[in-house]
Amino acid sequence: MRKTALVLLLVLVMTLSVGAFAFQNEPDGFRRLSFGGLIGRYRNFGELKDYLVLSSDFWGADLDFEGEEMRGLIVEYTITRNFKLRGQWSTFNTQISVKDGHGWTGYKAEYDLNVNAYIVSGVYTFTPEKALSYYIGAGLGKFETEFQWDETISKRGSPRWWSRGEETERPILFQILTGFRLGTGPITLQVEVNILPKVRMEDFRSVREYDGQRIEGITIDLSGMWSVGLVVRL
């Protein structure tokens, strides 16, 4: 742990040194540090969404996560006019609950998905001097993903089969991003799309079989997140 902290500290010192050198030739008023807030949505959950579609078709229910709101904060440090480092935190939660059934058979299901992401990225802006500028980036982050499920099948009101549990994974994974910013002053607006990783939940077990096979383990795809942010440069 101490060794990791020392490495991170060394990287930070080297980054700030390079940044200070790069700014020697920048004009007055050039801003190094930026802070921003993000708001957005997730739209794709991979195998989890596919599983909800299977369940919906069988039970005649409406099991579908809605794209819920993502909130986040970013801090950016400009190395050169085109390149900057970004630290980002974002959080997201969505859930669904349904009761349905056929005849004497009842079905109840509840699912809850929560994601907290902590990411460090490098961002390259192609034309930072223009009012409308495009950028791309890539980075690594810890994607703390918690999934809870509760599925129950009842016969005449008495529970017969059920699957309940929760699993939390904290993988260190790669992401890429692209977007554009509007404005060149101290306050700018940005619109961004993130291509995020997939997180595997091995503990998940379905309450029933589909096509003669019980589903064990499920991959949650976090890709498809888009966001709008307001960035303030200091």
Q: Residues 123-168: pLDDT tens digits?
A: 999 998 899 999 999 999 999 999 999 989 888 778 888 899 999 9
Query: Are 13 and 20 a contacting pair, CB within 8 Å?
Result: no
In this structure, what DSSP letter does residue 128 have? T
pLDDT at 64 over 80: no
Q: Could you tell me the pLDDT band of residue 67, with boundaries at 50, 70 and 90?
A: low
- The predicted structure's pLDDT at residue 8: 40
Q: pTM for this one?
A: 0.78
- The predicted structure's pLDDT at residue 108: 87
Give the chain's end-to-end CA distance (angstroms, integer): 33
Query: Are 146 and 201 a contacting pair, CB within 8 Å?
Result: no
Q: Could you tell me the pLDDT band of residue 89, with boundaries at 50, 70 and 90?
A: very high
pLDDT at 26 over 70: no
Q: What is the three-class DSSP state of 230?
A: strand
Is the pLDDT higher at 168 or at 230? 168
In this structure, what DSSP letter does residue 12 have? H
% of the chain at pLDDT higher than 70:
83
- The predicted structure's pLDDT at residue 217: 92
pLDDT, averaged across the chain: 81
Q: What is the three-class DSSP state of 53?
A: helix
pLDDT at 36 over 60: yes
Q: What is the three-class DSSP state of 129?
A: coil
* Rounded mean pLDDT, 38-63: 81
